Amino acid sequence: MRGKKRKYDCRVFFEELSESDYIIKENGMTTIITPTCARCNRLFGVGEVEEVEKRGNIARIKINDLTAALNIYTNKQYITNSTVEKRDFVAFSGIVHAREGAGNFSVLAEEVEVVEENTRNNWVLTTAKRTMERLELLRTRSFDCQSLAIGEDNAKTGAFMKAQEHYAICDDKLDELAKMAITAVNDVWQKHSKTTREMILEILKNTKCMEHDKLIKELMKKGFEEAWVEELIDELIEGGHCYAPEVGMLEVVEG
């Protein structure tokens, strides 16, 4: 599903979307302009499933992206791999149906796929990066309407300016939105760091002694970046959890 994601699908944190209530009409569709001025009539999101409710062929799935929970609705035929259950991680792409009022919208998912936790983590990191980029443009007043997904013509530029007035964008509001993104990233890294350390120690316990380069390659196959793994190995050595019995080798400290 990730490969099929449309390039114009909006990518915003659920908390920001839930606070969005500035709506414009374009090309016969309603579009939400969010507080960071992303244009959202389609949404791509990833999160952990909190609830699943099925009524006939329709399923309501409550998903949390680390900032807030969001309900999406989908026909079961659009779930592409296995049954979605609580505590699964899912990626989805769908249409946002907006009405007047904050949080007064629904998301009809056209594609839903069960994914690994790393996919959610990568989505959080990428969404935080894009959020911070939009915030920087708002702080510096470097308005590039196309990069903010508002459009190129004067009417859409006007909608962008009106959205800032609507949300009363100021430094305090920008700081609040930045904190949302930073908190989500911190949550990912804290858990990511802990689980990766546990994985390294588990591999070393099972192999007793392992080549440093082989361990790096093993973890890279699981989607971890080399520099990140190197840093965690150094921390484990400094913390007395593993050591190098000889150059290029690693062994776990028993006990």
Q: Is 223 left (phi over 0), alpha (psi -120 to 50) or beta?
A: left
Q: Is residue 183 part of a domain?
A: no
> What CATH number is associated with residue 103?
2.40.50.140
Is 175 inside a domain boundary? no
pLDDT on residue 184? 93
Are residues 156 and 225 both part of a single domain? no
Q: pTM value?
A: 0.72
pLDDT score, position 8 = 65
- The three-point CA angle 181-186-191 to 5° equals 135
Q: How far apart are CA 136 and CA 165, in angstroms?
A: 17
> Is the CA virtual torsion 58, 123, 6, 82 positive or negative?
negative
Q: Is residue 10 part of a domain?
A: yes
Q: Which CATH number belongs to the domain containing residue 205 in this structure? A: 1.10.10.10
Of the candidates 129, 42, 50, which has an alpha carbon nearest to the alpha carbon of residue 90?
Answer: 50
On whether residue 138 sits in a domain, the answer given is: yes
pLDDT tens readout for residues 68-80: 999 999 998 888 7
Please state whether beta strands 42-55 and 39-40 pair in parallel, antiparallel, or not at all (unpaired).
Answer: unpaired
> Does 29 score more than 50 pLDDT?
yes
Q: pLDDT over 70 for what percent of the chain?
A: 85
- What is the C-alpha to C-alpha distance for residues 81 and 103, in angstroms, rounded to an integer? 29
- DSSP letters of 124-161? HHHHHHHHHHHHHHHHHT---TTTTTS-SSHHHHHHHH
Domain containing 150 equals 2-169
Domain-embedded: residue 188: no
The answer to whether residue 134 scores a pLDDT higher than 50 is yes
Domain-located, residue 179 = no
- On whether both 38 and 126 belong to a single domain, the answer is yes
| 198 and 87 inside one domain | no
Can you give the pLDDT at residue 47?
Answer: 97
- The mean per-residue pLDDT over the stretch 191-209 comes to 82
Using the 3D structure, point to which of 137, 169, 201 is the last residue of a domain: 169
Q: Where are the alpha helices (DSSP H) in the chain?
A: 14-18, 117-140, 154-166, 171-207, 212-221, 226-238
Q: Is the pLDDT of residue 143 over 60?
A: no
Q: Using pLDDT thresholds of 50, 70 and 90, give the confidence band for residue 218.
A: confident
Q: Are residues 100 and 207 in the same domain?
A: no
* Mean of pLDDT values over 30-54: 94
Do 201 and 159 lie in a common domain? no
> Does 119 fall in a domain?
yes
Which tens digits make up the pLDDT trace of 225-249?
787 788 889 989 999 999 999 999 9
User: What would the two tokens of residue 80 be?
Assistant: 């592409």
pLDDT digits (tens, 9 = 90+) for 144-179: 444 444 444 445 567 778 888 999 999 999 999 999
In the chain, the number of structural domains is 2
pLDDT at 27 over 90: no
In a domain, 187, yes or no: no
Q: How far, in Å, CA of 202 to CA of 36, rounded?
A: 42
